[in-house]
Homo-oligomer: A and B are copies of this chain.
Amino acid sequence: MTNSLGKIFTVTVFGESHGRCVGAVVDGCPAGLSLAEADIQPELDQRRAVDSAASTPRLEEDRVEILSGVFNGITTGAPLTMVVWNKNVSSADYDKNRFLPRPGHADYTAFVKYGGFNDYRGGGMFSGRLTAAFVMAGAVAKKLLGQLGIEVLAHTVEIGGISAKSLDYNEIKKNAGQNPLKCSDIDAAANMMRLIEQVKKEGDSVGGMIEGVALNVPAGLGEPLFDTLDGELAKALLAIPAVKGVEFGNGFAAARRRGSENNDPFTVKAGRIVTTTNNAGGILGGISNGMPVVVRVAVKPTPSIAREQNTVDLQNMQDAPITVQGRHDTCIVPRAVPVVEAMMAVTICDFARRAGLISGVIK
């Protein structure tokens, strides 16, 4: 299945930007988990457009609705289905540009792959709106991981070349939620916001970087040689529209270091084996080593910009200009932050299921 992720804790996603709904079926969620819409809604709210230049002014009041898998407020072990219903969808803009693929979007590739039958309105199934389904599934995964003490958090570490300074995880947790850019360095966040406002005026967009961290992941998660923890995280994160790169620990910086600098020495601390540094980002040989799992993703600038761009008219195979209508996020990085959390949570939850740390019934 191409729209499913995970082997035991499996998420199947459906829906379109301008269709009836967006939804997720979670198969393999253990029975016995207390779960209500109220557990999921706050996560959904995190990915909602915020009232600022950073994000789209469209109002999407996504209300999650659980369709199956919960009985008397507790998961039953049956497939768990959640949807948000679409509203406020004006498709007229899209009909006009139906045969003009927007640069940087999936319009052209979807057209080719699905023979022109794809729902082109707002990107259809390729819309960032589908990440609402990721987030709903992620909310369930986060709740399950919480029972193991595993915590997943993501935050903005760079926007338009402005970097946040490094902070410890407690500060990140405290600060990141307090500003609309989900950046834990408050000063950098202010600069980022100024940049975004300026770029917006220019009819342009900016990208950035998000760091995801999973704390208290026990050593031993991951299934080599191919179903590695890093491999599956990368695959899940690259499903987020606009993500173009993924690195673990030092990542690309490791390529410029010496082995003597980059190796993380082991030591015993409080009776537990740890490494004194975490250049590996918590993963060795595709398996968690007990240190924080650290991943960073590169988010490209929003492809929808206000300026006229060059494209092709697919009907007559000629060059044609396009001006993308509608209101779009100047920078989608902050809205992608909860999605990064969700994809990490879903992936780690699947590995915890595979390792038997989470079994079929919550006791």
Contact = CB atoms under 8 A, between A and B. Distances in A.
A31 B79 contact: no
B118 A77 contact: yes
Nearest to A104: B263
Contacts of A21: 67-68
Interface in A44-90: 67-69, 71, 74-81, 83
Nearest to A277: B103
Contact of A268 (B75, B303, B312): B312
B262 A31 contact: no
A93 to B, nearest CB: 16
Interface stretch (A138-146, A147-155, A170-178, A283-291): A283-291
B244 A250 contact: yes
Given A106-B284, A266-B108, A225 B77 contact: no
Contacts of A285: 105-106, 109-110, 123, 126, 241
Interface string A124-144: 111000100000000000000
A292 interface: no
Nearest to A65: B20
A15 B258 contact: no
Nearest to A69: B14
A214 interface: no
Contact of A301 (B258, B284, B299): B258
Contacts of A41: none
Contacts of A255: 158, 207-209, 244-245, 298-300
Number of copies: 4
Given A1-B4, A117-B32, A244-B251, A125 B224 contact: yes
A81 B14 contact: yes
A287 B113 contact: yes
A161 B67 CA distance: 41
Contacts of A158: 255-256
Nearest to A301: B259
A134 to B, nearest CB: 9
Contact of A109 (B257, B288, B359): B288
A278 interface: no
Contacts of A257: 206-207, 300-301
B23 A258 contact: no
Contacts of A118: 31, 71, 76-78
Interface in A12-48: 12-16, 19-21, 23, 25, 27-28, 31-32
A321 to B, nearest CB: 10
Contacts of A227: 2
B209 A112 contact: no
A254 interface: yes
A256 B160 contact: yes
Given A234-B246, A260-B309, 10 more contacts: A4-B10, A14-B68, A15-B78, A106-B285, A202-B258, A207-B256, A207-B259, A247-B252, A254-B298, A257-B301
